[in-house]
Amino acid sequence: MSKTAKPDAPEFRLYGRAQGKPLSARQQGLVDDLLPRIGLPESGPVDAAELLPHCRRQVLEIGFGGGEHLAAQAARAPDTGFIGIEPFLNGVAKALTYIDAQGLENVRLARADARELLPRFTDASLDRIFLLFPDPWHKKRHAKRRFVQQTTRDAFARLLKPGGQLRIATDVKSYADHCMSEFRQDDRFVWQASKADDWRIAPADHITTRYETKGLGDCAPVFMDWVRS
């Protein structure tokens, strides 16, 4: 398979806010100074192994929110590279504070819509992908805005190495049903649950975030793990 970037990536409209309240002076300083140093290249292929050559494994988190999960996972596994993509500026700034405070050297960030960046990632370059509590877009007419679609399913299949892991978590029943419908029909992904507790109980390596504890959804968190065949 080619390791070059995919040409003619479609343009996407970003729904929702790109920024909230003004950043603090420290946060703005980190956005100005630290983010460019740990950012992704602005053009061309994105090769996770080249970005983090000292790391044995490469992990992507899409929509990392405030970065709590991303930073905690990175601190727990310093020999693993973590790439985070998040369009919301305040979330990026918050993640930068964790990275700076903990001196994490195995994290790279991008403030972007992941749908635009994924086509630039090289084939079979990731060991794991996290998509945790994405915006569910509850209304039927907004379902096309959900991140999980056939196009992103195809992207995950292309990017994950054989045996690579995908975890999606949500606390919205309709989104859980939507994800199950998308992935159960795709034999490139092998469902890992053998009993109900496998998706009802948080996996041992899961890190709970403040957003998750707010319980804004309509069901208890559901954890869906698949492996790339």
Q: Verify whether residue 135 is a known catalytic residue.
A: yes
Find out whether 211 is annotated in a ligand binding site.
yes
* Ramachandran assignment for 70, one of left (phi > 0), alpha (psi -120 to 50 degrees), beta (any other): alpha
Residue of 47, 100, 123, 135 marked active site: 135
Counts of helices then strands in the chain (DSSP H, E):
9, 7
Find out whether 61 is annotated in a ligand binding site.
yes
Q: Which two tokens stand for residue 148?
A: 């999980």
Q: Which two tokens stand for residue 182?
A: 């998308």
Cβ-based neighbours of 205, under 8 Å, separated by 6 or more: 73
Q: What are phi and psi of 98, to 5 degrees?
A: -65, -45
Find out whether 86 is annotated in a ligand binding site.
yes
Strand order in the sheet with 222-228: 107-110, 80-85, 57-62, 126-132, 160-170, 222-228, 189-191
Find out whether 113 is annotated in a ligand binding site.
yes
Instruction: Please give the distance of CA 224 from its chain centroid, rounded to a whole number.
Output: 14
Find out whether 212 is annotated in a ligand binding site.
yes
Please identify every residue annotated as catalytic.
135
Q: Binding site: what residues are annotated?
A: 61, 86, 113, 135, 139, 171, 209-212
In the annotated binding site for substrate, the residues are: 139, 171, 209-212
Annotated binding-site ranges for S-adenosyl-L-methionine: 61, 86, 113, 135
